[in-house]
Structure 1
């Protein structure tokens, strides 16, 4: 039977993180790919503005 691994990034008094998923269009094929990043919640707007 397989075991499920659960990782928590949230600790008391620590930094909380958010998962940001962006759709990026490829210049060669024109297809969209998705890029995922884990960023602190204070930097979400800055990451999406790039």
Structure 2
């Protein structure tokens, strides 16, 4: 399983100059985790309904 979004680490990276946007930006990893979590919840709810 891939690492989860670490808010504290990402905040430190942002304060030390890491970009907020772009391919390697902080928002990319946050959005990726949000979408994956939403999809997992959707699949779980769908499978439990059957």
Query: TM-score, with normalisation over the residues of structure 1?
Result: 0.23
Structure with the largest fraction of strand? 1
User: Higher relative contact order by CA 8 Å / sep ≥ 6: 1 or 2?
Assistant: 1
Structure with the largest fraction of helix? 2
Q: For the pair shown, which has the larger CA radius of gyration, 1 or 2?
A: 1
Query: TM-score, with normalisation over the residues of structure 2?
Result: 0.23
